[in-house]
Chains A and B, each alone.
Chain A
Amino acid sequence: MSLERADVEKIAHLARIAVDEEELDAVAGGLSNILDLVEQMKAVDTRGVEPMAHPLHMVQRLREDRVTESDQRERFQAVAPQTEAGLYLVPKVIE
């Protein structure tokens, strides 16, 4: 399976990754190779194999429902580009 330049552009946009114009073909080729490998693996008979959601054969440990975190807003906001009245400020998101 091979990806077109347009596919790469779309994926890059969805992931908010900037891909240079001259890199597009190389990235498309690289990703296509990965898909080819997946295609090749599809030929293996996996009936009777339980799909894995995680490489570790362990189950999720659960924590008790307790509040253990205290307010550290000042420390977090010290590294934020812009804050006001306790809020993080970002470029306007609606027109």
Chain B
Amino acid sequence: MQWETVIGLEIHAQLATRSKIFSGASTAFGAAPNTQACNIDLGLPGVLPVLNREVVRMAVRFATAIDAELGRRSVFARKNYFYPDLPKGYQISQYELPIVGRGHVEILLEEGAAKRIGVTRAHLEEDAGKSLHEDFHGSTGIDLNRAGTPLLEIVSEPDMRSAREAVAYARKIHQIVQYLGICDGNMQEGSFRCDANVSVRPMGEDRLGTRAELKNINSFRFLERAINFEVERQIDLIESGGKVVQETRLYDAARDETRSMRTKEEANDYRYFPDPDLLPVELDDAFIEAVRSDMPELPDAKRQRFSEAYGLSAYDASVVTASLSLADYFETVAEAAGDAKLAANWVMGELAAALNKENLEIGSSPVDAPRLGAMLRRIADNTISGKIAKQVFEAMWNGEGGADEIIEARGLKQITDSGAIERVVDEVIAANPQQVESYRGAEAAKQGKMLGFFVGQVMKASQGKANPKQVNELLRQKLS
């Protein structure tokens, strides 16, 4: 039988505020345990949560970016469950009236076609603390620094039909929240977490199959693998006469499989009700207008602008706009170099390869954008050749200074003085009488290839510094 995969994602994006959603405790990552958990985060008696304005602003930003309906009046609710990293015994979340309603994003499929993926809703909630299961004499250690960190939970429609589409959608949301500056997107630190609802159904069937919810996925690569494993598992199960049960399954990256997590389904009875400690949030026109008039350029618009203003191909434009930091880097390089295509080639080629090799993010590149741009300008103005530039780049990467310094110190300046090049060309011709003879005797069609030998000799003699274009021209003249 032919099966169709149906996937919906729930993404938790940690909002990049300074303080928590309902308290004035810091949200900075990596502090000593429980030093950023105040009485509100601990749920001590008598405390009251007060909502952070920035969190509301960020949610409205997101709503604007995905063209979503706004919950002009939204309500916080208590989601009740017991777990030691949730000190109050409930999580403050939103249930019936979320702040962000129905919206959508577009993903690009491999064939180049676009597909619209619906976002059902996005709501604000507080994060829980962390449980450390290392051995504390048979006890579990609890760190509540993360408790109360603001989250935007973004729930998609079940619009994705393959693991690849799910990854493309997750990347798109990741890109948008980073462009908006509302989430740092760090998946390893858990600032951006994806849960996937996966089900299968016979091709052509309208009703949805029973879904499993996959958790514990901390990279896009694992998202794709976890979904592919789960789809296989469900198909095998059904085809061998079994039934998929609705449950939460944890992805185990080491074994590349998903495993059932809970058996007690009562755990899902959350008994939501409006939180009496918090009043409804109403967004007035002035607040919304202020957010909308302050929107940054979004990924799709930037991609469009890069391909038009800089003449980049659709592919190049989408690569350099993949993240905001890469797009900013590229743009600075392009401006400094005065040649956008050259900039794109270097950013996607030499630079990307060097970063990859050392497993670095663009933000921690040893060669910053103005420096790379300044070096490319030296290619554009013929000070150095593209080949010599690779040497200069390597030296910059190793901290030997800026391009001009390195070119000067190493004497890498390209020779463009035609008199000087002519002398080298004459020497090469004089030293290779046989090759000259056979070149002159060859058909025009073959000469082109044979010229390469002489160019190579001249470049060698000039230590790669002779301007290749001039060398070619001079050789052609002199050999004819």
**Is the CB of B319 closer than 8 A to any CB of chain A?**
no
The B-contacting residues of A in range 37-95, CB under 8 angstroms, are 53-54, 56, 58-69, 71-73, 76-77, 82, 84-94
**Chain B residues, Cβ within 8 Å of A68:** 19, 24
B271 contacts A14, CB within 8 Å? yes
Central interface residue in B89, B140, B274, by most chain A CB within 10 Å: B140
A60 contacts B24, CB within 8 Å? no
A92 contacts B140, CB within 8 Å? yes
Contact among B18, B34, B35 for A88, CB-based, below 8 A: B34
B138 contacts A92, CB within 8 Å? yes
The A-contacting residues of B in range 255-290, CB under 8 angstroms, are 266, 269, 271, 274, 276, 278-282
**Is the CB of B33 closer than 8 A to any CB of chain A?**
yes
CB closest chain-A residue, reference B58: A65
**Chain A residues, Cβ within 8 Å of B25:** 67, 69
A62 contacts B143, CB within 8 Å? no
Contact A59 B280, CB 8 Å, known A65-B17, A90-B139: yes
B-side interface size class: 35 or more
B19 contacts A67, CB within 8 Å? yes
The A-contacting residues of B in range 44-66, CB under 8 angstroms, are 44, 50-56
A contact residues, total (Cβ < 8 Å): 37
Q: How many A-B residue pairs have CB under 8 A?
A: 128
B142 contacts A60, CB within 8 Å? no
Contact A54 B280, CB 8 Å, known A62-B51, A84-B141: yes
A-side interface mostly: loop
**Is the CB of B228 closer than 8 A to any CB of chain A?**
no
**Is the CB of B352 closer than 8 A to any CB of chain A?**
no
A65 contacts B54, CB within 8 Å? yes
**Chain B residues, Cβ within 8 Å of A86:** 32-35, 143
Q: What is the CB-to-nearest-CB distance from B330 to chain A, in angstroms, rounded to a whole number? A: 31
**Chain B residues, Cβ within 8 Å of A84:** 136, 139, 141
Q: What is the CB-to-nearest-CB distance from A6 to chain B, in angstroms, rounded to a whole number? A: 12
4 nearest CB pairs, A to B: A68-B24, A87-B141, A65-B54, A62-B53
A interface residues (Cβ-Cβ under 8 A, vs B): 10, 13-16, 53-54, 56, 58-69, 71-73, 76-77, 82, 84-94
